[in-house]
Chain A
Amino acid sequence: KNQVEQSPQSLIILEGKNCTLQCNYTVSPFSNLRWYKQDTGRGPVSLTIMTFSENTKSNGRYTATLDADTKQSSLHITASQLSDSASYICVVSAEGGSNYKLTFGKGTLLTVNP
């Protein structure tokens, strides 16, 4: 069964500090991996989407890494800001023609305190 596990479930850091969120998956055959940010009370917003051949992808202070061999991804946030407080969701897509094959993680809730 395809699964996406995220850790930690929640994380509290101080403003200005860096942090790394983890995503492990067992989805096969792999197509791509996405990270979304979801602010409280809002819909998720895409941060990055990475294919098999991409090891690293950045979006401002957000850097995602992918190790397709170990089936692990991480999202690194640099110099955190209060506005980074949100839930971060890892989503993995499997190959399969036109059929829907997305598996969602349950998210990591990040709180950035002043």
Chain B
Amino acid sequence: NAGVTQTPKFQVLKTGQSMTLQCAQDMNHNSMYWYRQDPGMGLRLIYYSASEGTTDKGEVPNGYNVSRLNKREFSLRLESAAPSQTSVYFCASSGTYQETQYFGPGTRLLVL
């Protein structure tokens, strides 16, 4: 089992460019999450999907959109990147939100 995989591992964007971060899990989990992690801020939830077909906003959703493509895949899109979106992005999954979350390796995004 690969667990949670994320692509790309690293990306540099110019202000105003768009991109999609991909996440997939092979643990048959219902719930999936997108977090961003900034120095001194800890992990902050951007969006989550409690089950296939549903998505909900987290603490910092502005500037992002998500798609729960199927049970395995949950993508995060930046429509018009801003320097404030420079961060490390983690995808995670769990059976339900009350259960242990399994995190991917992260995507390091730099917006110039």
The smallest C-beta distance from B105 to any residue of chain A, in angstroms, reads 5
Q: Which residues of A sit under 8 angstroms from B33, Cβ to Cβ?
A: 100
Q: Are the CB atoms of B105 and A43 closer together than 8 Å?
A: yes
Which of the residues A45, A49, A89, A98 comes within 8 Å of B96, measured between beta carbons? A98
Interface residues in A, total, Cβ within 8 A = 21
From A11-19, A73-81, A102-110, give the one contacting chain B. A102-110
Does B48 interact with chain A (Cβ within 8 Å)?
A: yes
The smallest C-beta distance from B33 to any residue of chain A, in angstroms, reads 8
A104/B104 contact (C-beta < 8 A), A31-B98, A98-B96 known: no
Number of A-B contacts (CB under 8 A): 51
Does A111 interact with chain B (Cβ within 8 Å)?
A: no
From B13-21, B35-43, B66-74, B78-86, give the one contacting chain A. B35-43
Q: Are the CB atoms of A106 and B42 closer together than 8 Å?
A: yes
* Complex alpha-carbon distance, A34 and B43, angstroms: 14
Q: Which residues of B sit under 8 angstroms from A89, Cβ to Cβ?
A: 42-43
* Complex alpha-carbon distance, A102 and B58, angstroms: 10
Does B102 interact with chain A (Cβ within 8 Å)?
A: yes
Does A101 interact with chain B (Cβ within 8 Å)?
A: yes
Per-residue A-contact encoding for B22-51, CB less than 8 Å = 1, 0 else = 000000000001000000111111001010
Q: Are the CB atoms of A93 and B98 closer together than 8 Å?
A: yes
Q: Are the CB atoms of A100 and B41 closer together than 8 Å?
A: no
* Complex alpha-carbon distance, A41 and B90, angstroms: 11
Q: Are the CB atoms of A100 and B58 closer together than 8 Å?
A: yes
A43/B58 contact (C-beta < 8 A), A101-B97, A106-B40 known: no
Q: Are the CB atoms of B100 and A100 closer together than 8 Å?
A: no
Per-residue B-contact encoding for A90-101, CB less than 8 Å = 1, 0 else = 000100001111
- By Cβ-Cβ distance, the 4 closest A-B pairs, closest first, are A43-B103, A106-B42, A46-B100, A104-B43
